[in-house]
Amino acid sequence: MSIRHYTPRRRRYGQLSPRANGLLLAVVSIAILLQILYPLIHGEALRLLTINIVYWGAGAMLLHALLAYGARYAFTYLTFTFFFALIIEHVGIATAWPFGQYSYSPDLGLRIFQVPLVVPFAWIMIAHPVLTAARRIAGNWVFLYGGIALAAWDLFLDPLMVTSGRWTWTVTGAHVPFQPEIPLSNTFGWLLSGMFLIGVLHVIVPRQKRKAGATFATTDAFMLWTLFSGVVGNLFFFHRPGIALFSGTILAAVLAPYFFNRWLGRP
């Protein structure tokens, strides 16, 4: 007669718990689903959807930051990115530097120093996946890669928001190719501010991923979705093929080295 010992089922070493993984998957899925609905909705519903897209996207990336790197990373990332975005946006509205002369629509909700609260969360939504990508491939040039990636992402964001009336620009000089409503100064502003943001974050937030933390599948999927939705949306829904080709080519070129590195499986 043998005695069988019961051993509770344990998750494998280095693997996120099913509950935490399920929560992360759910939040990311909602963030992407809301973006899918964007071209199908109009009026007041679209305004509310726009705000929720940002908050859910930021929440998804913050949750990944917490599960992948821990509370110190997530809190430091949230705090610094929020206040940096708030300050640089306020300076931009007040002085037209570094982005150019622009103003936000009042329909974006609560404001702090003339900046809609939702705007810093847009920075929070994208800076974390960009930082993880830059750290993997850029070596001592994390700040440069990060700044270029943020500027490339904005090539999709700004024309979409201007078309929907969320903010407006005064264009007096050169404009972004295929985007006559956006001054070229905005792209340079994003490049400069993005380099500073990613450079500082690289220094102040932990670099070591938790051994049992979330994988990079979430941030990878979010970046790929950003590229895919930007191209498809401008081609088939917003009828701006020039933006699809121009912005899509630039963002794809920026992300290609990272995803090639991921494909090779290098640490």
Q: What is the pLDDT of residues 118-165, one digit of tens each?
A: 999 999 999 999 999 999 999 999 999 999 999 999 999 999 999 999
What pLDDT does 266 receive? 64
Q: To the nearest whole number, what is the mean pLDDT of the chain?
A: 93
* pLDDT for the residue numbered 181: 96
Does a structural domain hold residue 200? yes
pLDDT (0 to 100) of residue 5 = 45
Instruction: Report the 3 state secondary structure along the chain.
Output: CCCCCCCCCCCCCCCCCHHHHHHHHHHHHHHHHHHHHHHHCCHHHHHHHHHHHHHHHHHHHHHHHHHHHCHHHHHHHHHHHHHHHHHHHHHHHHHCCCCCCEEECHHHCCEECCEECHHHHHHHHHHHHHHHHHHHHCHHHHHHHHHHHHHHHHHHHHHHHHHCCCEEECCCCCEECCEEEEEHHHHHHHHHHHHHHHHHHHHHCCCCCCCCCCCCHHHHHHHHHHHHHHHHHHHHHCCCHHHHHHHHHHHHHHHHHHHHHHHHCCC
- What is the extent of the structural domain holding 29? 18-264
Indicate whether 1 pLDDT > 70: no
pLDDT tens for 80-122 read: 999 999 999 999 999 999 999 999 999 999 999 999 999 999 9
Confidence of residue 3 (pLDDT cuts 50, 70, 90): very low
pTM across the whole model: 0.92
Q: Are 249 and 227 in contact (CB under 8 A)?
A: no
Is residue 7 situated within a structural domain?
no
Instruction: Report the share of the chain in percent with pLDDT over 90.
Output: 88
Q: How many domains does the chain have?
A: 1
